[in-house]
Homo-oligomer: A and B are copies of this chain.
Amino acid sequence: MIGLGAISDTDGVDPHLLRSFVAVARRRSFSAAARELGFTQSAVSQQVAALEADLGAVLLNRRPVTPTRAGARLLDHAVPLLLRLDAARADVARLAAPPSARVVVGASPLAVTALGPALADVRREHPDLVVTVRVLGRSALIREVATAAVDVGLADGAVAPSDSLPLPDAGPLRAVGVLERPLAVLLPPRHPLAGRAGLRLADLAAAGWIDAPDTAVPLGRLRTAAGAEGYRASVRYEGTDVGGLVALVGAGHGLAVLPDPTGAALSGVTAVPVTEPRLVHRVEAVHSPTLAGVPAALAAALTG
């Protein structure tokens, strides 16, 4: 027997076709996707047709190009799938590559402070080391770590004390706790509760909140943690800058939950510790287990 043709029976779906399908769905155009991928539009058309034949379902409506129900479903799978495929390659490649003197650290905004002493130690040890610190949103952070675009990621989140962070899994990454701090609600200066020593989150379900999923504790997290509905967003904040968020809270646009001693800039707002539920703001260092050289030393310094 030769060839065998249908890849379908044994393997899941062909990632090559999947990649093209994703591009078409994103650009809502076969021609644009073809340009992006470096194919002719004909080839992309054939690829999508092949994928549809393989799966036995129409994935895209044409003119205008729109995902069908099945197509939308496949898209949900496709993005993390392609990410993991890249991650696998990057991870093996790193084992073969020579250890580099360059270090890239990725960190979500509230995790940057955790770098402090560990980074100092490593830079003392390697004086001519160039360290790049890149501030990223939560989802981007894991993607970058998985594909080896950053060596060490510092992720943060609100969890029960000494619990680990619920990270989207983009491969077998190592995650170890670096720092845990109490949580606090940021209130504008003349807020009625600003004088309190501690607050229960459930009491603030009806307040107006700022949804800053990449910077503060996401509102969805508050809902599941408090086991309550509410926590409606009045403003959505898409930056990754804590100062900007603090300013918005100070101006009375809504509340936000952050780690308690926010460090430097607390001008214009009041931070009141959260007493219930019992959560902490936790920072974890995330990196590939195959990390070596200076990046590995930094990871060790962070966690030790």
How many identical subunits does the complex contain?
A: 2
Counting CB contacts under 8 A, is A226 at the interface?
A: yes
In the complex, which of the residues B12, B81, B162, B224 contacts A224, with contact meaning CB atoms closer than 8 Å?
A: B162
Query: Which residues of chain A (185-240) have a CB below 8 Å from chain B?
Result: 224-227
Bound CA–CA A95/B59 (angstroms): 11
In the complex, which of the residues B15, B92, B161 contacts A57, with contact meaning CB atoms closer than 8 Å?
A: B92
Task: Decide if B161 touches A76 in the complex (CB within 8 Å).
Answer: no
Task: Decide if A11 touches B85 in the complex (CB within 8 Å).
Answer: yes
Task: Decide if B57 touches A74 in the complex (CB within 8 Å).
Answer: no
> Mask for A1-14, Cβ within 8 A of B = 1, else 0?
00000011011111
Task: Decide if B77 touches A81 in the complex (CB within 8 Å).
Answer: no
In the complex, which of the residues B55, B160, B169, B289 contacts A93, with contact meaning CB atoms closer than 8 Å?
A: B55
Query: Which residues of chain A (9-57) have a CB below 8 Å from chain B?
Result: 10-16, 18-19, 37, 55-57
Bound CA–CA A18/B11 (angstroms): 10
- Distance from A29 Cβ to chain B, minimum over Cβ atoms (Å): 19
Query: Which residues of chain A (254-291) have a CB below 8 Å from chain B?
Result: 277-279, 289-290
Task: Decide if A84 touches B77 in the complex (CB within 8 Å).
Answer: yes
Bound CA–CA A12/B82 (angstroms): 7
Known contacts A11-B16, A15-B85, A73-B95; can you find 19 more A-B pairs with CB under 8 A? A7-B16, A10-B19, A12-B86, A15-B15, A56-B93, A57-B95, A73-B91, A74-B92, A77-B172, A80-B84, A159-B163, A160-B160, A160-B279, A161-B277, A162-B226, A162-B227, A163-B224, A164-B224, A168-B169
Q: Using a CB–CB distance below 8 Å, which chain A residues touch chain B? A: 7-8, 10-16, 18-19, 37, 55-57, 59, 69-70, 73-74, 76-78, 80-82, 84-89, 91-93, 95-96, 159-164, 166, 168-169, 171-172, 224-227, 277-279, 289-290
